[in-house]
């Protein structure tokens, strides 16, 4: 059975912790709390990270979290890794994997060898003029009813936790769900991909991981649990901006059309000359200010420049920096340049 209806949910939920764990909602609440993506109730019960986070071979709990948590802080991890609580007689994981919110399946990669994510599923969610996605990776199997276009509820079973991956091996002892919350950068990803000449086929279309950029899923759940946010849109807008970059372009990227809630002002009916874009610590473009004053904006289509940045963040962050400073000169990082190329379709940036 793919769907868990509200009646079934009501029978299963007792107390705040269980309510958070299974994603039930109470009539009168403005929005639904997210469903935890695995059967492990440790997060909802307030237990420590070690009760649900799967570390790498290092054994360090932080290595299973989001951010600059690997290789001494030099390597970025896009999501969180959650370990299983049930195993079969051979020791393989048996935990069901659940959709965290109502949505629509947009991508199913059923062949493990096609991605470093192994078998994975992407689900689209819509909240407050913002579309975002949850991604569930390294699955042992995908539910037979899960395919692109299928609608799912919070708590719908997507598959079974596992350790599938291409290009490397996840040992049985470290089977886990790799879980992400992301935004899609471009609808023209394939054109960018072809220009890179990677030498391998893009089997995932716009749902390739290089076209997705995310935020910390655990912090989202924590903010929901504490009542500090009521949905993903408000959570995203609470994120701190660490750098602002001006992009000279008259284009209106599909990212802006998909996420009008991130605009600080309307561009409708005016002659657009540039965008001032606010980026989070790990490079998510969450604030878009259209600029119209042509006389005060010197630059040509495709020119980019740093308007402002947090020197403390840049200095203390070992990976995925938005901007970099060397010899008292600030420049846009290669990660951010790639993001801008995807957002605007630029072939190159001066």
Q: Residue 35 — very low, low, confident or very high, per pLDDT cuts 50/70/90?
A: very high
Is the per-residue pLDDT at 224 higher than 70?
Answer: yes
Mean pLDDT, residues 100-118 taken together: 97
Confidence at residue 82, expressed as pLDDT on a 0 to 100 scale: 98
262 and 179 inside one domain = no
164 and 308 inside one domain = no
Mean pLDDT, residues 132-143 taken together: 98
Query: What's the chain look like in SS3?
Result: CCCCCHHHHHHHCCHHHHHHHHCCCCCCCCCCCCCCCCCCCCCCCCCCHHHCECCCCCCCHHHHCCEEEEHHHCEEECCEEECCCCECCCCCECCEEECCCCEEEEEEECCHHHCCCCEEEEEEEEECCEEEEEEEEEEEEECCCCCCCCEECCCCEEEEEECCCCCCCCCHHHCEEEEEEEEECCCCHHHHHHHHCCCCCCCCHHHCHHHEEEECHHHHHHHHHCCCCCCHHHHHHCCCCCEEEEEECCCCCHHHHHCHHHECCCCCCCCCCEEEEEECCCCCEEEEEEECCHHHCCCCCCCEEEEEECHHHHHHCCCCCCEEEECCEEEECHHHHHHHHHHHCCCCCC
Confidence at residue 149, expressed as pLDDT on a 0 to 100 scale: 98
Is the per-residue pLDDT at 337 higher than 50?
Answer: yes
77 and 149 inside one domain = yes
262 and 221 inside one domain = no
Structural domain count, the chain = 2
When mean pLDDT is compared across 11-15, 52-56, 105-109, 256-260, the lowest value belongs to: 11-15
Q: Residue 350 — very low, low, confident or very high, per pLDDT cuts 50/70/90?
A: low
Q: What is the percentage of the chain residues whose pLDDT exceeds 90?
A: 80
Q: Residue 295 — very low, low, confident or very high, per pLDDT cuts 50/70/90?
A: low
The pLDDT tens digits of the residues spanning 307-319 come to: 999 988 877 888 9
Confidence at residue 31, expressed as pLDDT on a 0 to 100 scale: 52
**Model pTM?**
0.90
37 and 121 inside one domain = yes
Among the three residues 163, 190, 225, which one is the final residue of a domain in this structure?
225
Among the three residues 193, 225, 257, which one is the final residue of a domain in this structure?
225
Mean pLDDT, residues 34-63 taken together: 97
Confidence at residue 8, expressed as pLDDT on a 0 to 100 scale: 35
Is the per-residue pLDDT at 191 higher than 60?
Answer: yes
Among the three residues 191, 225, 259, which one is the final residue of a domain in this structure?
225
78 and 179 inside one domain = yes
Is the per-residue pLDDT at 1 higher than 90?
Answer: no
61 and 205 inside one domain = yes
Is the per-residue pLDDT at 24 higher than 90?
Answer: no
Q: Which domain holds residue 340?
A: 239-344
């Amino acid at each position: 059975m793919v769907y868990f209806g509200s009646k079934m949910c009501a029978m299963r939920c007792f107390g705040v912790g269980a309510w958070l764990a299974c994603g039930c909602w109470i009539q009168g609440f403005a929005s639904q709390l997210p469903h935890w993506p695995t059967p492990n109730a440790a997060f909802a019960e307030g237990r420590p990270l070690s009760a649900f986070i799967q570390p790498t071979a290092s054994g360090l709990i932080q290595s299973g979290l989001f951010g600059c948590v690997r290789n001494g802080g030099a390597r970025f991890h896009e999501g969180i890794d959650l370990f299983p609580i049930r195993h079969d007689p051979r020791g393989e994981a048996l935990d069901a994997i659940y959709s965290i919110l109502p949505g629509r399946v947009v991508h199913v990669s059923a062949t493990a060898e096609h991605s470093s994510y192994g078998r994975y599923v992407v689900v689209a969610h819509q909240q407050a003029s913002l579309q975002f996605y949850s991604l569930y990776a390294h699955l042992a199997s995908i539910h037979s009813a899960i395919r692109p276009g299928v609608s799912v509820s919070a708590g719908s079973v997507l598959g079974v936790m596992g350790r599938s991956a291409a290009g490397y091996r996840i040992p049985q002892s470290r089977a886990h769900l790799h879980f992400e919350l992301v935004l899609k950068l471009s609808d023209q990803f394939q054109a960018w991909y072809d220009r890179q000449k990677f030498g391998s086929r893009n089997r995932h279309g716009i749902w390739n991981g290089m076209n997705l950029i995310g935020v910390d899923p655990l912090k989202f759940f924590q903010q929901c649990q504490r009542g500090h946010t009521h949905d993903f849109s408000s959570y995203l807008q609470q994120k701190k901006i660490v750098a602002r970059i001006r992009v000279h372009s008259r284009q209106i990227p599909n990212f802006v059309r998909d996420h009008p809630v991130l605009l600080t002002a309307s561009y409708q009916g005016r002659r657009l000359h540039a965008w001032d874009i606010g980026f989070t610590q790990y490079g998510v473009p969450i604030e878009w200010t259209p600029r119209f004053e042509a006389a005060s904006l010197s630059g040509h289509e495709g020119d980019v420049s740093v308007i402002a940045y947090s020197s403390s963040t840049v200095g203390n962050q070992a990976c995925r920096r938005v901007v970099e400073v060397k010899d008292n000169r600030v420049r846009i990082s290669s990660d951010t340049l790639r993001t801008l190329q995807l957002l605007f379709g630029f072939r190159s940036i001066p």
